[in-house]
Amino acid sequence: MAWENKLDYRVATKNGVILAIVVILFTVLMLGSPLLNNTGRDLVAAILIFLASAMVPLLFLNLNKGSKDQRQLGLQIFGLAMLTDLALSAVIGLVLPAVTQTNVYDGVNLMIVSLVLTALIAMLEVMAFTSFVDIIGRGTAKNMAKKLGASRSEKLRLAVIRVNKIWNQFKESKSGMFALVILVVIFGMALIGPAIALENPNTVKYGGVGDSGGLPTSPDGTYWLGTDHQHKDILSQILYGAGTSLLVGFLAGAISLLLGTSIGLSAGFYGRAVDEVLMRLTDFFLVIPWFPLMIVLVAILGKSLWIVILVIGITSWSPTARVVRAAVLSIKEKQFIERSRALGGNNFHIIRKHILPNVFPLIVATSILLVAEAIFSEAFLDFFGLGDPNVVSWGWMLERAHATGAMLNFWWWWILPPGLMIILLVMSFYLLGDTLDEILNPRLKRR
Amino acid sequence: MARTMRGYFARKLVYLFITILLIMSFNFILFRAMPGDPLAAIFGKHQPNNETKQMWINKLGLNDSIVIQYFKYMIITFQGDLGTSFGYLTNTKIADILPTYLTKTIFLSGTGTVLAILIGIIYGREAAWRKGKMFDKVATTTGVVLYSVPTFLFALLYIMIFAKIIPDWPFNGSESDNYASLDAIGKFLDLAQHAFLPILSLILESIAGFALIVRSSLIDVLTEDYILTAEAKGLEGRDILKKHAMPNALLPVVAVIALNVGWIMGGTVMIEYIFGYKGLGYLAWEAILTFDLQLLQAVFFLEIIAVLIANFIADILNFYLDPRVKI
């Protein structure tokens, strides 16, 4: 790591630990307070999660030691981590409870899981942002380059050039930019959607007594996209659904990516028996029809958002494993691996320093495609009535529309919006993955 | 050559057998790893009286050790006994009712696959041949959009449009009520009319998938040196395409067909559910609705076997078409 001598990961600030304990105790006490309503508790929980995740960078970054440059860099990283944490805790504490209809404090389990998750993410953040500042922060890079030795400044310069080059190539691709714009819009919807929505789709709302089976109303001034048969606003449901799709897409994609990469890496790197066993397992998952498998798993394990995410994750990793294995096999035979081994590099060192960086471009492109497929699968499961009945999502909307007979009655405003959103989101991820794949893994030479 | 073919065939057959064994073990573990009473899993919400229960405990040997249970399950399944339905149908041997459902699913997915491959290949070929021109741009964009549409959305849209324009169009089931009284032509038309929308919804996504693969593979092939040679020999454009480019461009497609069978099978489940088309997918939906896990297990098992056999056939086909496999 470039900044090894600058940021001492091992030194924990004693004061930071004490402060963390005090804050957590205080917040837990606050949570129990009868003065707060549920939303208040969520808010406090969000703050708690934020503080917990903020503590971690504090523990890792030694902000009051070292030279001026080192402290400045530490502060920059800390700032970046803070901003991300803020967004993250807002999602976990505010958006997630709104979407899943569970108050964070309601389930102590969810609370603990979120805390652990945020702490983990915060740790990764420090690592990621260290290299981020390294590469992207051009101003910093220039500043640092002046003060550092020539070799390091050269390294930084090259890194900056590489990122710029990728971006310039990306800018040229029309489909890539289109996908990026759509994704930014949908991300925006997921983040601020619940705040600007007309109503919470989960609130029980009928037109009047005995009006539970009323007719949907077509779009008008109040309800821009009309309402469903319970007079709930379609637009609000669309806004709430964006978060669900993205959440499922990214989490399930991450699980699948982790499984696929580690299995492909081990199979390719260790070879022989390990390879044979792991590849038979991969073939097994590759061959069995994914949808029936998911149906069976969800039917047995239960209909909850987390189970759906888990099931999608563990049923979709096999293509990634194949791709990664093939890449590892070709890299393994290169001479620099042999040299590294001759210099005394062990397996872990070789995988981390030589193999992972080389398969990384492949993983980036694959992971984006995985997200698209996870979103697809979630819509399928939801539509089949196997989604979490309490979570608003686009598949869920279509399922309800189908069950109510929206197609036969031509209630288009209930079918087209969620359908279009699914198509747009999935397509954007496909296009983005494709564009990045073309840039990072150039196979098709432009002849 | 004959020996290598036999060797290849034998290896694939052994893999097929191992995979089937794996699937059966997986099925065994999956439905017994469930929390709670295994009898509850078998009967679901429809608890029978004590005698029947006792009979099932004896038959499945639930008092035996898990290893003996496992071997018993394997032997029973190999004998073709897929269990008894206690939810959707009362006390019916599943193996007896499955064939009617299976034929419908095979009809849907078989016709769908063949049509998707044929149309997809033509679609992709024409797009690649006109690479960079307007036709290609429109075709590729349409392909990407179609590829991103979930199968069930096609079905919903078709029903919505057809219901508006032709309200009398049959949207439910695989045949009319008066099917038995129709003559041969009437029967055929009736079946075709009922299968039209399901198949149309089923294939569009696969067509797009195949077309995109054919297009990129053909574009790759068209830049090869031997195409230039063919051109230098004085062959006309279309002849080059037909005789030199297409045979090579189709190889990746054959490899993808095998994977696509599973995909189409998944789509069939959804389509059958929406159109009330009484195939395996419809049965799976009913099984979930009535919490009939025994039936669900049987359907799952049968679908996997069908996909495995289709894969096996695709592998053999691949062997004949692609000389590289023989090495």
> How do residues A310-330 score in pLDDT, each as one tens digit?
899 988 888 889 888 888 888
Q: Is the pLDDT of residue A295 over 80?
A: yes
Instruction: Please give the angle made by the CA atoms of A370, A280 and A277, to the nearest 5 degrees.
Output: 110
Q: How far is CA A280 from CA A287, A363, B11, B235, in A?
A: 10, 22, 13, 46
Residue among A280, A282, A285, A300 with most chain B CBs within 10 A, to mutate: A300
Stretch B172-189: mean pLDDT: 77
Cα A47 to the center of its chain, rounded Å: 21
- pLDDT, position A447: 38
Residue among B152, B217, B309 with most chain A CBs within 10 A, to mutate: B152
Hey, is A431 helix, strand or coil?
helix
Do residue B223 and residue A447 have CB atoms under 8 angstroms apart?
A: yes
Which two three-digit tokens encode residue B260? Answer: 């696509």
Q: A356-393, pLDDT tens digit by residue?
A: 888 887 888 788 888 988 998 888 888 888 888 888 88
Per-residue pLDDT band for A13 (boundaries 50, 70, 90) equals very low
**Average pLDDT of every residue of chain B:** 79
Per-residue pLDDT band for A247 (boundaries 50, 70, 90) equals confident
Stretch A341-369: mean pLDDT: 82
Report chain A residues whose CB lies below 8 A from the CB of B303: 289, 292
Highest mean pLDDT among A97-106, A135-144, B143-152: B143-152
Count of Cβ atoms closer than 10 Å to residue B228 Cβ:
12
Q: How far is CA A152 from CA A3, A16, A134, A157, A163, in A?
A: 10, 32, 10, 9, 17
Q: Is the pLDDT of residue A396 over 80?
A: yes
DSSP-derived pairing of the beta strands B92-93 and B84-85: antiparallel
Hey, is A227 helix, strand or coil?
strand
Residues 282-321 of B with CB under 8 A from A: 284-285, 288, 293, 296-297, 299-300, 303-304, 307-308, 311
Q: Which of B273, B274, B311 sits opposite A287 (nearest CB)?
A: B311
Highest mean pLDDT among A125-139, B15-29, B206-220, B313-327: B206-220
Stretch A144-161: mean pLDDT: 58
Per-residue pLDDT band for A53 (boundaries 50, 70, 90) equals low
Stretch A401-416: mean pLDDT: 81
Q: Is the pLDDT of residue B3 over 60?
A: no
Q: Which of A148, A180, A152 minimizes the C-alpha distance to A70?
A: A148
Q: How far is CA A409 from CA A218, B153, B173, in A?
A: 12, 16, 19
- pLDDT, position A10: 37
Cα B154 to the center of its chain, rounded Å: 18
Q: Which of B145, B269, B299 sits opposite A427 (nearest CB)?
A: B145
Q: How far apart are CA B122 and CA B214, in angstroms?
A: 9
Q: Which residues contact B49 (CB under 8 A, 6 or more apart)?
A: none
- Contact at 8 Å (CB) between A285 and A318? yes
Q: How far apart are CA A348 and CA A356, in angstroms?
A: 10
Residue with tokens 């050269």: A154
Looking at per-residue pLDDT, the higher value among B103 and A210 belongs to B103
- Contact at 8 Å (CB) between B221 and B249? yes
Q: Is the pLDDT of residue B322 over 70?
A: no
Q: Which of A13, A11, A15 minimizes the C-alpha distance to A23?
A: A15
Q: Is the pLDDT of residue A445 over 70?
A: no
Per-residue pLDDT band for A146 (boundaries 50, 70, 90) equals low
Q: Which of A284, A287, A292 sits opposite B300 (nearest CB)?
A: A292
Per-residue pLDDT band for A157 (boundaries 50, 70, 90) equals low
Q: How far apart are CA A178 and CA A211, in angstroms?
A: 43
- pLDDT, position A411: 81
Which two three-digit tokens encode residue B258? Answer: 């095998």
The chain A residue lying nearest B170, using CA atoms, is: A408
**Cα-flanking dihedrals φ and ψ of residue B93, to 5°?**
-70, 125
DSSP notation for B82-112: --EESSSSSSEEHHHHHHHHHHHHHHHHHHH
* Count helices and strands in chain B by DSSP H and E runs: 14, 2
Q: Which residues contact A143 (CB under 8 A, 6 or more apart)?
A: A69
Per-residue pLDDT band for A273 (boundaries 50, 70, 90) equals confident
Stretch A97-119: mean pLDDT: 60
Q: How far is CA B84 from CA A254, B52, B175, in A?
A: 39, 12, 27
Do residue B149 and residue A408 have CB atoms under 8 angstroms apart?
A: no
Q: Which of A169, A20, A144 minimizes the C-alpha distance to A76?
A: A144
Listed as own residue / partner, the contacts of A342-347 with beta carbons closer than 8 Å and 24 or more positions apart are A347/A269
Q: How far apart are CA A237 and CA A7, in angstroms?
A: 46
Q: Is the pLDDT of residue B203 over 80?
A: yes
Q: Which of B149, B219, B284 sits opposite A423 (nearest CB)?
A: B149
Task: Please state, for a pLDDT cut of 90, what percent of chain B lies above it.
Answer: 0
- pLDDT, position A204: 64
DSSP notation for A320-337: HHHHHHHHHHHHHTSHHH
Stretch A293-301: mean pLDDT: 82
Which two three-digit tokens encode residue A90? Answer: 């807002």
Q: Is the pLDDT of residue B269 over 50?
A: yes
- pLDDT, position A354: 82
- Contact at 8 Å (CB) between B129 and A399? no
A430 touches chain B (CB under 8 A): yes
Q: How far apart are CA B318 and CA B306, in angstroms?
A: 18
Q: Is the pLDDT of residue A35 over 60?
A: no
Q: Is the dihedral of CA A171, A176, A178, A181 positive or negative?
A: negative
Helices A150-172 and A108-135 pack at an angle, to 10 degrees, of 110
Cα B146 to the center of its chain, rounded Å: 19
Our CA-based measurement puts residue A87 at a distance from the nearest CA of chain B, in whole angstroms, of 29
**Cα-flanking dihedrals φ and ψ of residue B85, to 5°?**
-85, 130
Do residue A284 and residue B19 have CB atoms under 8 angstroms apart?
A: yes
Q: How far apart are CA B52 and CA B62, in angstroms?
A: 14
Which amino acid does the sequence have at A94? L
Q: A409-431, pLDDT tens digit by residue?
A: 778 888 888 989 999 999 999 88
Q: How far is CA A151 from CA A68, A145, A155, in A?
A: 21, 9, 6
Label each residue of chain B as H, E or C.
Answer: CHHHHHHHHHHHHHHHHHHHHHHHHHHHHHHHCCCCCHHHHHHCCCCCCHHHHHHHHHHHCCCCCHHHHHHHHHHHHHCCCCCEECCCCCCEEHHHHHHHHHHHHHHHHHHHHHHHHHHHHHHHHHHHHCCCCHHHHHHHHHHHHHHCCCHHHHHHHHHHHHHHHCCCCCCCCCCCCCHHHCCHHHHHHHHHHHHHHHHHHHHHHHHHHHHHHHHHHHHHHHCCHHHHHHHHHCCCHHHHHHHHHHHHHCHHHHHHHHHHHHHHHHHHHHHHHHHCCCCHHHHHHHHHHCCCHHHHHHHHHHHHHHHHHHHHHHHHHHHHHCHHHHC
Stretch B272-284: mean pLDDT: 86
Report chain A residues whose CB lies below 8 A from the CB of B151: 380
Q: What is the CA radius of gyration of chain B?
A: 24
Q: B97-127, pLDDT tens digit by residue?
A: 888 888 888 888 888 888 988 999 898 888 8
Reported residue count of chain A is 447
pTM for the whole structure: 0.73
Q: How far apart are CA B72 and CA A409, in angstroms?
A: 52
Q: How far is CA B39 from CA B28, B43, B63, in A?
A: 14, 6, 12
Do residue B31 and residue A410 have CB atoms under 8 angstroms apart?
A: no
Looking at per-residue pLDDT, the higher value among A273 and B263 belongs to A273
Which amino acid does the sequence have at A304? S
Report chain A residues whose CB lies below 8 A from the CB of B285: 384
**Average pLDDT of every residue of chain A:** 74
Q: How far apart are CA A294 and CA A308, in angstroms?
A: 8
Q: Which of A421, A293, A317 minimizes the C-alpha distance to B148?
A: A421
- pLDDT, position A104: 54
Residues 31-70 of B with CB under 8 A from A: 31, 34
- pLDDT, position B119: 92
Cα B58 to the center of its chain, rounded Å: 36
Per-residue pLDDT band for A229 (boundaries 50, 70, 90) equals confident
- pLDDT, position A425: 92
Residue with tokens 């040679």: B229
Report chain A residues whose CB lies below 8 A from the CB of B22: 280, 284
Q: How far apart are CA B60 and CA B83, in angstroms?
A: 10
DSSP conformation class of A106? T
Residue with tokens 């299968």: B195
Q: B62-73, pLDDT tens digit by residue?
A: 667 777 778 877
Stretch B24-45: mean pLDDT: 68
| A and B: number of Cβ contacts within 8 A | 128
A209 touches chain B (CB under 8 A): no
Task: Please state, for a pLDDT cut of 90, what percent of chain A lies above it.
Answer: 3
- Contact at 8 Å (CB) between B319 and B326? yes
Q: Is the pLDDT of residue B282 over 70?
A: yes
